[in-house]
Structure 1
Amino acid sequence: MRRSSSKSRIEQGQLTPKLQKFLAESKDRDPFLVVDVDVVEQNYRELRRLLPHARVYYAIKANPAPEILRRLRSLGSNFDTASAGEIEQCLSLGITPDRISFGNTIKKKRDIAWAFDKGVRLYAFDSLCELEKLAEVAPGSQVFCRVLMECEGAEWPLSRKFGCAPHMAADLLVKARALGLDPYGISFHVGSQQTDLNQWDKAVAQVSQMFTVLQQHDVELRMVNLGGGFPARYRSDVPMLEAYAQAIGNAMTKHFGNNLPDMIIEPGRGLVGDAGVIQAEVVLISEKDYGDDRRWVYLDIGKFSGLAETMDEAIKYRIVTPHDGGPTGPVALAGPSCDSADILYEKTDYHLPLALRVGDKVQILSTGAYTTTYSSVGFNGFPPLKSYCI
């Protein structure tokens, strides 16, 4: 099947015609994000084609723009939510509660009760305390337990904070049934921007063993939530989406045979990351000493205005300038705020054109995910990151 031209352009570091036109015509003086919602749709359709047996629950936290949610709603997507606020947003857009998962394992009891009252019946947990809250205020609901993963190979790991040890998860799922809940399945997340396809095989092998253990306790699990991990296109090469789908499909058939359970995937970055681009401006170019070969390039966007995933230089964005193709030199990149932590890249080897000047507009590619939602309300008086969906 031939790829769509828009998706191919994004993967090659080019912008779709819609994005090019919008950027060329923009009069904005502050940095902004623009998302081509058609690319989001293409990514969703491709994922459904490659993993037809998996139900998609879009991780709203990646980008909750109403235009994106409406498009995915019309395509039949389900939605993974992390808070009562995200659930409220879904309901306000006509998304029915049977298409919503309350996937955060850290929830206030009153928020669980509110969600249950609104009709949400699918909940995540990873501790006895959370399970007891669910049993008390969401009786009879389907629940799934998240297990710990090492997240090796992920550029944005999710280990330690979420999940519990497999043997504890098994005990909790037995307990869930005793408390009147429906122990539906097990979830895991191999880490955001996962680059090691073997991680799904390791995770599914562990989960299948838990299915067997729980059968011995007369608990018939029926679902595996494979989480996210699907990539956007940053600086490093990553496998194509087909390779991810094949790795997941192979792991499930290898460890479950023909008796496949229900499958859920929770893409966020993989759906919206490549659909967006941030336009920013060069504010200052300086050196730290005479004869210093490396320039410091300061942009009008930084860690506190949308680029939080540059923390520890984890996510390495591609940057396009009006002078690409000419001679380049090494740079450190930083944001505009009066905070010494607001350095984007100092250790990573970035080179930008020597012709770069103050006032030049630059594009930061594949920024459709985890940018607007990380932007501060007004640190140092800078406004939150503006967003457009086209």
Structure 2
Amino acid sequence: MASNNFTTQVIELTLKNFRQIISSIPKTKGSALVVSPSRIWRQVERWTKLLPTVYPYYAVKCNPDPILLQTLRYYKVGFDCASLREVHSILSLNTGESKLDKIIYAHPMKSENDIDVVDSLGIRMTVVDSVEEYDKLKSCGWKGSTLLRVAVNDTDSKMPFSVKFGCSLEEAKVIAKRSQIPITGVSFHVGSGCENPSQYKQAIHYSVLEVFDILRKNKHNPDILNIGGGYSSKYSEFSKAASIIQEAIKLYINPKTTVIAEPGRYMAQPSQDLFVKIIAKKPGIAGKGWRYVIDESVYGQFSCIPFDHQKPSWIHIPMNRKSMSTSTLEDSVIFGRTCDSLDIIAKGRMDPMEVGDWLYFPLMGAYTSATASEFNGFPKPAQLIDANNLLPDVDSVLKMIDALGYTSKINYLKPLSGI
């Protein structure tokens, strides 16, 4: 199945590298996450190149892996935290410098205890989206400032957020009349997995020309715009979005305004690849095709399927033949290892595989480890660091998937888009 994008030599080298990684996985483990520090750096580098005027605060909820956090902090990235545990994970990083000014407590709806603890730690920026939350900050004696989160158009995103977060323009007018805590800017989020980058331009225009104006009329001094997250980790898609954002910044934003963002998936997705072993195989129902079981689960690293509506792609790594693929395709189902019959990773026509073969799932760093559990008593995967850069770069991975890969077609419930 190799296309013109790949020569036989490249395929053989890639297969050799994959088998070298697999050989380093503990024999007691049938799955392993491989972390790539070089890919993390590459994402930061691209961000700096394409969005030089936008300071990133990584959304820790996407993947709180310590290696990822430590690497991002080394490259001077800030952090968007939404819980006390996330805050403590950042404060525990051994960087030898203050991190308080690089944390925004970005959850719009917080408990009083969380507010008290965050305030006592010295964090001074948060977010509200209602009168009730503003008044809660005031009653807790919040010593910092707040951003006002507004609802924006997110209809073209995989996971819309406006059904839960963000105030309307009329609500913003009411909140702006409060004066005890300074509202120093506006925050929005166009939704996770934004598929229409023009939503950023619309939201920037609305925030700066309408909401900033309301705040100024009520004696606030907004000088921060938080343009949220939703950015693709794929270079071509991110480049398109960045171009539109930069255009909007030039058109609508005063140069004295600080622009920040909350990328999660963009930073995390390329940071980890997943290798999973096939542990069982039997004929399909009525003898048609095959049913495979792998040493992972939708309750584990593949929690990204039900929770984040991802459709992971993979490449088959045979262990007892040289070729990565054959010309024969069979109807098959790949099940997860739990006792739940709905624990399905993928189904469709695919290469015949054997017990002991491995599957390579690239770009598995976003909303995987963060939502994984040990349901049914199955442990989380081993973790390795790709210190020798055996993993292909992101652009090569995407070409490999086109040439040799398969993509899950499992559909779970769609997120709410309105109530």
Q: Cα offset for 1:261?
A: 2.3
Distance 1:19 1:372 in 2: 21
User: Is 1:239–2:242 an aligned residue pair?
Assistant: no
Paired residues of 2:270 and 2:365 also in contact (CA < 8 A)? yes
Write the letter of the residue equivalent to 2:82: A
Residue aligning to 1:274:
270
2:351 to 350, 353, 356: 353
1:19-68, Cα deviation, whole Å (9 max, x unpaired)? 77434422342322111012111111210121111111011122222222
Alignment of 1:1-390 (within 5 A): 21-28=20-27, 29-93=29-93, 94=95, 95-175=98-178, 178=179, 180-208=180-208, 209-233=210-234, 239-256=236-253, 258-259=254-255, 261-290=257-286, 292=288, 295-311=290-306, 314-323=309-318, 324-327=324-327, 328-345=329-346, 350-354=348-352, 356-376=353-373, 378-390=374-386
Partner secondary structure for residue 44 of structure 2: helix
> Residues 56, 372 of structure 1: CA spacing in aligned structure 2 closer, same or farther, 3 A cutoff?
same
1:154-173, Cα deviation, whole Å (9 max, x unpaired)? 23333412222232134223
Paired residues of 2:279 and 2:293 also in contact (CA < 8 A)? yes
Paired residues of 1:211 and 1:221 also in contact (CA < 8 A)? yes
Partner secondary structure for residue 250 of structure 1: helix
> Residues 192, 333 of structure 1: CA spacing in aligned structure 2 closer, same or farther, 3 A cutoff?
farther
Partner secondary structure for residue 304 of structure 1: coil
Partner secondary structure for residue 286 of structure 2: coil
Distance 2:240 2:256 in 1: 20
Paired residues of 1:18 and 1:36 also in contact (CA < 8 A)? no
Write the letter of the residue equivalent to 2:92: S
Write the letter of the residue equivalent to 1:67: I
Paired residues of 1:272 and 1:368 also in contact (CA < 8 A)? yes
Residue aligning to 1:5:
none
Q: Cα offset for 1:122?
A: 0.6
Paired residues of 1:155 and 1:315 also in contact (CA < 8 A)? no
Distance 1:146 1:59 in 2: 16
Residue aligning to 2:415:
none
Write the letter of the residue equivalent to 1:197: P
Residue aligning to 1:4:
none
Q: CA RMSD in A?
A: 2.7
Seq. identity, %: 25
- How many positions carry a matched residue from both structures? 364
> Residues 365, 217 of structure 1: CA spacing in aligned structure 2 closer, same or farther, 3 A cutoff?
same
Q: Cα offset for 1:215?
A: 2.7
Write the letter of the residue equivalent to 2:363: S
Partner secondary structure for residue 290 of structure 1: helix
Partner secondary structure for residue 104 of structure 2: strand
1:301-338, Cα deviation, whole Å (9 max, x unpaired)? 11111211211782111101125432333443331212
Write the letter of the residue equivalent to 2:21: F
> Residues 229, 118 of structure 1: CA spacing in aligned structure 2 closer, same or farther, 3 A cutoff?
same
Q: Cα offset for 1:357?
A: 1.5
Distance 1:286 1:149 in 2: 49
Distance 1:18 1:289 in 2: 36
- Name the larger-Rg structure: 2
Write the letter of the residue equivalent to 2:91: L
1:197-247, Cα deviation, whole Å (9 max, x unpaired)? 1111222222122122333333332111111111135xxxx8332212111
Write the letter of the residue equivalent to 1:71: T
TM-score (norm 1): 0.84
1:231-285, Cα deviation, whole Å (9 max, x unpaired)? 135xxxx8332212111111222333x5562111111110121121111122334
